Amino acid sequence: MSMHRVSKSYFVELNQRIEKGVKLALRDYLHEKAEESRHNETLGFLILIIGVSFFIGGMIVTVVTEANPDWLLFIPYKLDSHPYSLIGLSFVSIGLVMLILGIVFSIHSALQRASYMDRLKETQTLEAQTIEPKEG
């Protein structure tokens, strides 16, 4: 069972709302989910940056340690048994995986946030229609 890390101030604010008897409206929920998606998008970009760092580090290690490596696009494949060349290959592989995962996670979070924002706009227009006095 996975646990999400939530700041202590969030629980304090939620307890204050419950004590005051204020319900957490759909609009507030959607706003919180949009903020969470924005945060996840930022984490995706950070994962992407770490992946690029690993990838470039692995390329530099490979180029420095290998005299003439064979390349498959941008991945070295025929390396000698020297440990540094294997570390370079590992860094390149890890960096490429993290780069791809960061891009996918960022795009997924951005699409989720757009969905929450659309639902938030619908909720706000619905609330405006119900609060608006009807002419008759």
What pLDDT, on a 0 to 100 scale, did the predictor assign at position 29? 83
**Quick check: is 12 in a domain?**
no
pLDDT 10s digits, 17-44: 654 444 457 778 888 888 999 999 999 9
Residues in the chain, pLDDT under 70: 1-8, 10-24, 77, 79, 132-136
Residue 17 counted as domain residue: no
Domain that holds residue 31: 26-125
**20 within a domain of the structure (yes/no):** no
Is the overall model pTM greater than 0.85, yes or no? no
* Residue 21 falls inside a structural domain: no
120 part of a folded domain:
yes
Number of domains in the chain: 1
Q: Establish if 111 belongs to a structural domain.
A: yes
Distance set, CA 79 to CA 36, 52, 101 (Å):
44, 22, 26
1 lies in a domain?
no
In a domain, 81, yes or no: yes
